Amino acid sequence: MPDLSTLPVWARELIIAGGIMLATLISAMIALWLLVKIRHKIAARTKTELDDDIIKAITKPLFWLIIIAGFSVLTDHLHGRYEESIGWFYSYIKGGIWLAGSIFVTLIVYRLVDVLGSWLTKNIAERAESDMYAEFLPLLNRVLRLIVLVIALMAILDHFGINVNSLLTVLGVGSLAIALASRDTIANMISGFIIMIDRPFRVGDRVILDSGEKCDVFQIGLRSTRFKTFENTLIILPNEQLLTSKITNISYPDSQIRVKVDIGVAYGSKIEEVRRILTECAEKHSKVLNNPEPSAHLVGLGDSSVDFALVGYVNEITDQWTTQNELRQMIYDALYEADVEIPFPQRTLWMRQDEQTKDA
């Protein structure tokens, strides 16, 4: 092995500089190779793509970060050997190296936040019943990435001796102005978060609004919630309004719902026979549940009829109206076959005549 001490100074320094950069390049290549190997092993053992995406996101920035670290070591070596000759621009070189390193560190953190946010959006928002996740998670991802960039910018400015207090003041005033201008939007977003956590209703639930409309929950958004009426129209309400109004959730705690059919028969009909006919109609219907059992009740003695109510349950809310319609037809046919009269409203008038009217 040749003795470096016999070489000229410039040759020795050139060899040392080359050795430092060669070692840096080899270290970067080894790190790159290890990350690729780890990525393949993890991908083979796990079903999720999160770990694979994380390694893929940081591989290239980490490679260049190691190269920058090598330049930093080389610069420190040269400064130690030739402080008098290169001292005047050493601070500029170190500043540039620090800036480049900060950029790549920021890039690594930025990509990690982006990968995690994308994974959450894909694996949580797409499986969630509410569209709020699909709106909230990408928004949160963008906000977090912006925070990473702002923190990095503040750190860089502070490192180079630039006063960031005035910038923070401007940002604070600007944020306050934006918050005041978008007060209603922020209130609706906060209400949306509360709805997302409390879950008073879900997409597909049938509800009765405070105004009396019966409709289905169509979409739960970050700012507003949409309800689909039976006329195939949408009612759009701000989330803040929903928190302060009465919402009746028909679908909760389960999807079973009562089916009630009112029927009136003529006076003189046999009560037990009518009850039997009504109960048999419910038992024959395929969608009426046996548990709880359907039942027929005498609910009133009207002006023109004896009033009954048939009560049963179906599994799905969407079957309520069709089952009621089919039961009415079955009851009508069964009463007709049993010669049980279904009366129409009627009144009996008694005409009174006095003696003067008779003589006239």
One digit per residue, the tens of pLDDT, for the chain of length 360 reads 455 555 555 455 666 666 766 777 777 777 777 767 776 666 666 666 777 777 778 778 887 877 777 777 777 766 566 555 555 666 777 778 788 888 888 888 888 888 888 887 777 766 655 555 666 677 677 778 888 888 888 888 877 777 766 666 666 666 666 555 556 777 777 787 788 777 888 888 889 898 888 899 888 877 888 999 988 899 999 888 888 889 888 888 777 888 999 999 999 899 999 999 999 999 999 899 988 899 999 999 988 899 999 999 998 888 888 999 999 999 999 999 999 988 887 666 777 666 655 555
In a domain, 360, yes or no: no
70: left (phi over 0), alpha (psi -120 to 50) or beta: alpha
Burial letters for 282-308: b for 16+ Cβ neighbours within 10 Å, e otherwise? beebebbeeeeebebeeeeeeeebbeb
The CATH code of the domain that includes 312 is 3.30.70.100
pLDDT at residue 350 in the model: 72
Q: Which among 178, 205, 224 is the end of a domain?
A: 178
Q: Are both 131 and 215 inside the same structural domain?
A: no
Cα separation, 16 vs 12, in Å, equals 6
Instruction: Lay out the sheet containing 295-301: strands in order across.
Output: 257-265, 306-314, 295-301
At 231 the three-state DSSP class reads coil
Q: Are 127 and 119 in contact (CB under 8 A)?
A: no
Q: What are phi and psi of 62, to 5 degrees?
A: -65, -35
Count of the separate structural domains present in the chain: 3
Cα separation, 232 vs 250, in Å, equals 19
Burial of 329 (0-12, 13-18, 19+ CB in 10 A): exposed
Q: Which among 154, 178, 202 is the end of a domain?
A: 178
**Helix or strand holding residue 217 (H, E):** strand 214-220
Q: Which two tokens stand for residue 179?
A: 């918050």
Q: Which two tokens stand for residue 246?
A: 């009465």
Nearest-5° Cα angle at 23, 8 to 65:
125
pLDDT at residue 273 in the model: 93
Q: Are 87 and 96 in contact (CB under 8 A)?
A: no
Q: What are phi and psi of 197, to 5 degrees?
A: -80, -45
In a domain, 189, yes or no: no
In a domain, 208, yes or no: yes
Q: What is the DSSP letter of 345?
A: P
Q: Are 314 and 255 in contact (CB under 8 A)?
A: no
Burial of 5 (0-12, 13-18, 19+ CB in 10 A): exposed
The CATH code of the domain that includes 203 is 2.30.30.60
Q: Are both 239 and 316 inside the same structural domain?
A: no
In this structure, the strands spanning 306-314 and 257-265 are antiparallel
Handedness of CA 264, 265, 271, 276 (dihedral sign): negative
Q: Are both 78 and 138 inside the same structural domain?
A: yes
In a domain, 17, yes or no: yes
At 12 the three-state DSSP class reads helix
pLDDT at residue 8 in the model: 52
Alpha helices for the chain (secondary structure H) = 9-45, 50-81, 83-120, 132-159, 165-181, 183-198, 239-243, 271-284, 320-337, 355-359
Question: Where do we find the tokens 């909760």?
Answer: 252
- Torsion angle of alpha carbons 296, 297, 301, 305, nearest 10°? -10
At 246 the three-state DSSP class reads coil
Q: Are 137 and 120 in contact (CB under 8 A)?
A: yes
Q: Are both 172 and 267 inside the same structural domain?
A: no
pTM of the predicted protein model = 0.51
Q: Are both 166 and 220 inside the same structural domain?
A: no
Q: In which domain, by residue range, is 224 found?
A: 194-249
Q: Are both 40 and 136 inside the same structural domain?
A: yes
Q: Are 331 and 263 in contact (CB under 8 A)?
A: yes
